Amino acid sequence: MKSTLLKITGIAAASLAMLSLQAADNELVIYPEKTGETISKNIYGHFSEHLGHCIYEGFWVGEDSDIPNVRGIRKDVVEALKEVDLPVLRWPGGCFADEYHWKDGIGPKEKRPTMINTHWGGVVENNHFGTHEFMDLCEQIGTEPFVSINVGSGTPQEAMEWVEYMTSGAFSPMANLRRENGREDPWKVTYLGIGNENWGCGGNMRPEYYADVFRHFQTFTKSYGDNKVFKIACGASGDDYHWTDTLMKIAGDKMDGLSLHFYTLPTGDWSKKGESTGFEEDEWFATLKETLKMEEMVTKHSAIMDIYDPEKRVGLMVDEWGTWYDPEPGRNPGFLYQQNTLRDALVAGINLNIFNSHSERVRMANIAQVVNVLQAMILTDGAKILKTPTYHVFDLYKVHHDAKFVEFQLNETSYDFDEDSIPALNVSCSKKEDGIVNVTICNLDPTEANQLTCKLPGAVVAKVTAQVLTSDVMDAHNTFDEPEAIHPVEFNDFTIESGELKATLPAKSVVLLTLNYE
Ligand code: AHR
């Protein structure tokens, strides 16, 4: 339901001003000549972990599989990810990373030792997917690798040797070992995560302690030749601002990026998170209200980083985000497999809009996780594959990759539910080098369409094209029997008159408007 109480939200880069007044419709004023930071394409990054069927079955089926593959990596998943221009892929974890010993995952597969994946289902990990296979995957997709180093149970020597193995072109012990294993040239590996969730599964460290551990490990993760590494420190969980403050104070000058992890749980309660499908409007509302907290978190963590790094040298890297629901009945609860619906599409659209608007500090984000785990882009079942509503949002939003943030002012209505309310719309705009402006708009209201008047001062729009992702039901999703049940379609419920674009945004929708100026 929509209330007549209107909020005026003026967003100039990351600054937010709000006031309330009475009005009927939503108004968006776009200033195409007022551009801000470049929106890093890495905001559209992904995360893959040795967890459930992300790596095994999701990517890796082995050379002998009947599923079409290139050197053991399934072709259909690679093709789908190439389509969305996946810019960067984080691996091998997650919590798994701080138990992973990279030397177990190189050399002849039959000689690789096994291990127990203690975090995720207690299954036996055969290490058939290791460094060479991950780099091959990145090369096949055309994406940049982001490698998470084991800090929790590893040593600085192990970390140093892995970086040398991957990136050194010298005739040095680790580079020679790589050559023995069939790879002559070093790989380019820019992004290194120095530990993961070291406040939790990565060692239960206090921030003061981890800050020193980070200083120690980063000393030995070196840049070899012209491979310049970008060192990412483990950042806060959600609203732990003390963690960010301590890390910036003690180690800010030694890092290039600081991470942030924030998951969206419908209930906000880890003991009973909520279902991925079959929910009612109360959970729809609660999920979107919860995910909107990302705006506050990014703003507050950035403000702390500004104190220590006013030049904004250090990037805020939201390297885990997305929805997390209760495990599906009948599946291994440690595998974190969940369906993905139109609600997830809204979550994706809202968060990506938020990251775009903070691109002066947010340099990367990695949704968790890319295949078969949590808010996945792709689900697989044997040889079958489907693209989720989240996938389709990433596909629509790829127009923002490396485009310039465009300032806008949004005067919007609210979406009210059960005596509570959140903004009805969520927007971001960017401009490509060729001058084309792309506007992505989420209508959070699941029952009512929203009227939007879009004003474009100082510019004459010659042509508008648009697409929409929506459905009649809140939990619309694709299945292996019906993989195209929900996908973007052309949107034409708009008019352009006297320089104003008037659109009717369907309830529960993500819309992309592409504006070509004269
Ligand atoms: O993405 C699943 C898990 O969530 C990751 O392994 C961990 O870093 C986080 O707690």
Residue pLDDT, tens place only, 336-352: 999 999 999 999 999 99
Provide the token pair at 267. 């209930």
**What is the best residue among 261, 270, 273, 371 to mutate for testing ligand 1's pocket, by most ligand atoms within 8 Å of CB?**
261
Examine the pLDDT at 323 and tell me if it is beyond 50. yes
Distance of alpha carbon 438 from alpha carbon 443, whole angstroms: 16
Rounded CA-CA distance 186/231 in Å is 19
Angle at 437 between CA 435 and CA 442, to 5 degrees: 170
Residue 101 has pLDDT above 90, yes or no: yes
Instruction: Name residue, tokens 């070899």.
Output: 224
Q: Which of 81, 124, 9, 111 has the alpha carbon at shortest distance from 424?
A: 9
DSSP per residue over 319-369, as a string?
EEEEE--PPPTTS-GGG-----BHHHHHHHHHHHHHHHHTTTTEEEEEEE-
Nearest C-alpha to atom 2 of ligand 1 is from which residue?
Answer: 94
Average pLDDT, rounded, for the chain:
94
Predicted pLDDT at 356: 98
Distance CA 408, CA 13 (A): 9
Measure 343 CA to ligand 1 centroid, in angstroms: 21
Q: Please check whether residue 130 is in contact with residue 63, taking contact to mean a CB–CB distance below 8 angstroms.
A: no
Q: Which residues contact 186 (CB under 8 A, 6 or more apart)?
A: 166, 167, 168, 169, 175, 178, 224, 225, 227
Query: Residue 298 pLDDT more than 60?
Result: yes
3-state secondary structure of 274: coil
Helix and strand tally (H, E) in the chain?
A: 10, 27
Retrieve residue 456's tokens: 């474009």
> What pLDDT score does 9 carry?
34
The model's pLDDT over 42-52, given as tens digits with 9 standing for 90+, comes to 999 999 999 99
> End-to-end CA distance of the chain, in Å?
38
CA of 84 to the centre of ligand 1 (A): 24
Pull the structure tokens for residue 82.
């190439």
Taking CA atoms, 71 is separated from 53, 58, 371, 457, 464, in Å, by: 18, 14, 19, 54, 43
What's the pLDDT tens digit per position in 425-462? 999 999 999 999 999 999 999 999 999 999 988 777 88
Q: Tell me the two tokens of residue 139.
A: 């090369």
Q: Whose CA is nearest to atom 6 of ligand 1?
A: 94
pLDDT over 80 at 11, yes or no:
no
pLDDT confidence band for 2 (50 / 70 / 90):
low
Least confident of 192-206, 424-438, 459-473: 459-473
Whether the per-residue pLDDT at 153 is higher than 60: the answer is yes
Q: Is 497 a catalytic residue?
A: no
Q: How far is the CA of 43 from the centre of ligand 1 (A)?
A: 18
Q: Are 246 and 208 in contact (CB under 8 A)?
A: yes
Residue-wise DSSP of 207-222: HHHHHHHHHHHHHHSP
The Cα–Cα gap between 176 and 165 comes to 8
Q: How confident is the model at residue 13, as a pLDDT? A: 35
Phi-psi region of 308 (alpha: psi -120 to 50; beta: other; left: phi over 0): alpha
Residue 377 near residue 54 (C-beta atoms within 8 A): no
Residue 29 predicted with pLDDT over 80: yes
Q: How far is the CA of 279 from the centre of ligand 1 (A)?
A: 24
**Residue 7: per-residue pLDDT:** 36
Q: What pLDDT, on the 0 to 100 scale, is given for residue 1?
A: 52
Question: Region 306-314: what's the mean pLDDT?
Answer: 98
Token output for 159: 């970390």
- Amino acid type, 26: N
| Euclidean distance between CA atoms 151 and 171, whole angstroms | 27
Contacts of 502 (CB under 8 A, 6+ apart): 451, 452, 453, 454, 494, 495, 496
> What is the per-residue pLDDT across 218-239, written as a single tens digit (0 to 9) for each?
999 999 999 999 999 999 999 9
Ligand 1: which atom is nearest the Cα of residue 369? Answer: 1
Q: What Rg value do the Cα atoms of the chain yield, rounded?
A: 23
Q: How distant, in Å, are the alpha carbons of 127, 177, 185, 284 from that of 100? A: 10, 19, 24, 37
- Phi/psi of residue 253, nearest 5 degrees: -75, -10
pLDDT band at 137 (very low <50, low <70, confident <90, very high): very high
CA diameter of the chain: 71
The whole-angstrom separation of Cα 331 and Cα 374 is: 13
Write the DSSP string, 397-415: HGGGTTPEEEEEEEEEEEE
The yes-or-no answer on residue 133 being catalytic is no
pLDDT of residue 10: 34
Query: How far is ligand 1, taken at its centre, from the CA of residue 136, in Å?
Result: 24
Quick one: pLDDT at residue 100?
A: 98
Atom of ligand 1 nearest to the CA of 196: 8
Dig out the tokens for 434 from the structure.
């060729």
Per this entry, what is the length of the chain? 518
> What are the pocket residues of ligand 1 if the criterion is a CB atom closer than 6 Å to any ligand atom?
49, 93-95, 196-197, 320, 368-369, 374
Question: Which of residues 19 and 65 earns the better pLDDT score?
Answer: 65
Query: 302: which 2 tokens?
Result: 């950035």
94 CA: nearest ligand 1 atom: 6
Nearest to 358 by CA among 301, 436, 311, 275: 301
Residue 304 predicted with pLDDT over 50: yes
Mean pLDDT of 153-180: 98
**H/E run at residue 296:** helix 293-308
Residue 14 pLDDT grade (very low, low, confident, very high; cuts 50, 70, 90): very low
Positive or negative, the CA dihedral 326, 330, 335, 340 is negative
pTM of the model: 0.95
For ligand 1, atom 8, name the residue with the nearest CA: 94
The single residue of 27, 161, 197, 407 carrying the catalytic annotation is 197
Q: Would you say residue 142 has pLDDT above 80?
A: yes
The least confident of 51-65, 345-359, 390-404, 453-467 is: 453-467
Name the catalytic one among 49, 144, 320, 412.
320
At residue 291, the 3 state secondary structure works out as helix
For residue 321, report the distance from its CA to the centre of ligand 1, in Å.
Answer: 9
Q: What is the pLDDT of residue 499?
A: 79
Residues 6 or more apart whose CB falls under 8 angstroms from that of 421 comprise: 3, 5, 414, 415
